Amino acid sequence: MENIDWKNLPFGYYPTDYNLRSTWKDGKWSDLEVSSSEFISVHMAATGLHYGQEAFEGLKAYRGKDGKVRLFRWEDNAIRMRNSAQGVMMAEVPDELFFSAINQAVRLNAKFIPPYGTGSSLYIRPLLFGSGAQVGVKPAKEYMFVVFVSPVGPYFKEGFSPVDVELVRDYDRAAPLGTGHIKVGGNYAASLRPADRAHNDGYSAVLFLDAREKKFIDEAGPANFFGIKNGIYVTPSSRTILPSITNKSLEVIAEDLGLKVERRPVPVEELDTFEEAGACGTAAIISPFRKIVDRQTKKEYNYAEKAGPYSTKLYQTLTAIQFGEMEDTHGWTTVLEGI
């Protein structure tokens, strides 16, 4: 067990002992290689560097109340990475290879899994990119798949305390028929400038609108949006938002809690009517919103200073399943035995 201040871990890169790598060449993936280097050697003409042939994933391993280590819905991350690969014409990582890499990455770095009760977890970052050289705009003929892990705390330093976010109209993270629905690096590059501005203005994150009409809520930079009112959990449906595995899980938990669930376009004006609102994702978990400020119109949408009752219940239930405190009736977790 490492000597780390587990309770106060930020969400960030923390070096661990090993990472896993495989390369795709001539139509097949190589055996996984265990590496103790934090560096990779990449061709200067790699398409991942030039033409954005790159995708990543994010999932976590949790040390449970019973001492067991659990993954949460890893199959969905594997599927999403295959969808991302298809979207930008990269070789797909087979689910078995995906699992084998994350399983080994967690086991080999077991001493970095935060202890139960600290609220922290081991973030797993699978990465796929075009490593083959091209100068014309074409897909590479070689790909690299890497998995590393880092112990992390919550994405927003406030943890489960409400945050302020900035709604922007002068930037989009993805084009209407672009790549917003897959997890490729370009979407995040597009979000950096407005996110930096928001941070400088004192906000935790940016809330983007639909790129075509600027009428509907899309999502936050690193997480999906949800609102709750009149016993209904509302979350946007849009081609340009990332299908969040956390959100998909919260929809089920919301129904279990007796809420109705609506996935539909959410007009900006509706923000006024929500009793609770927040962001959700693997890194963010649930981050309730205290207020949303429209940067252009200056209109403010205010929510409670403390997390609302439904957000709290959703957060407690989700994390109780992840940390093995509650029975996993939906079959979402995979126990990694013997760690």
Closest-by-Cβ residue to ligand PLP is: 281
245 binds, among ligand COI, ligand PLP, none (CB under 5 to 8 A by kind): ligand PLP
Q: Which of 58, 132, 178, 186 binds ligand PLP (CB under 6 A)?
A: 58
How many chain residues interact with ligand COI (CB under 6 A)? Answer: 5
Report the residue number, 151 or 222, with the smaller CB distance to ligand PLP.
222
Give dist(CA 224, CA 244) in Å, integer: 7
Report the residue number, 167 or 223, with the smaller CB distance to ligand PLP.
223
Give me the residues paired with residue 56 across strands.
127
- Interacting residues with ligand PLP between 171 and 230 (CB under 6 A): 219, 222-224
Please state the closest distance from residue 262 (CB atom) to ligand PLP, in A.
Answer: 18
Contacts of 159 (CB under 8 A, 6+ apart): 119, 153
Report the residue number, 162 or 281, with the smaller CB distance to ligand COI.
281
240 binds, among ligand PLP, ligand COI, none (CB under 5 to 8 A by kind): none
Please state the closest distance from residue 145 (CB atom) to ligand COI, in A.
Answer: 17
C-alpha atoms less than 13 angstroms from C-alpha of 301 in its C-beta half-sphere: 23
Give dist(CA 143, CA 272) in Å, integer: 46
- Interacting residues with ligand COI between 57 and 76 (CB under 6 A): 58
Part in contact with ligand COI (CB under 6 A); list of ranges 24-32, 138-146, 266-274, 276-284 = 276-284
Give dist(CA 106, CA 335) in Å, integer: 12
E-only strand ranges, 159-213: 163-168, 205-209
Q: Per-residue contact track with ligand COI, 166 to 205, x per CB under 6 A? A: ----------------------------------------
* DSSP class of 120: -
Residue among 12, 22, 19 nearest 37 (CA) = 19
Q: Which residues of 22-35 are buried (b: 16+ CB within 10 A; e: fewer)?
A: bbbeeeebeebeee
Q: Which of 90, 144, 242, 266 binds ligand PLP (CB under 6 A)?
A: 242
238 binds, among ligand COI, ligand PLP, none (CB under 5 to 8 A by kind): none
DSSP H/E element including 316? helix 309-322
Please state the closest distance from residue 58 (CB atom) to ligand COI, in A.
Answer: 2
183 as an active site residue: the answer is yes
Give me the residues paired with residue 336 across strands.
69
Most distant CA pair in the chain: distance in Å?
A: 56
Q: Which of 282, 287, 322, 333 binds ligand PLP (CB under 6 A)?
A: 282
Contacts of 257 (CB under 8 A, 6+ apart): 310, 313, 314, 317
* DSSP class of 184: B
With binding defined as CB under 6 A, does residue 85 bind ligand PLP? no
Among 25, 141, 157, 183, the active-site one is: 183
Amino acid making up residue 14: Y
Part in contact with ligand COI (CB under 6 A); list of ranges 94-102, 205-213, 279-287, 305-313 = 279-287
Part in contact with ligand COI (CB under 6 A); list of ranges 17-25, 65-73, 206-214, 277-285 = 277-285
Give dist(CA 35, CA 124) in Å, integer: 15
Q: Per-residue contact track with ligand COI, 215 to 234, x per CB under 6 A? A: -------x------------
Contacts of 202 (CB under 8 A, 6+ apart): 164
Catalytic residues: 183
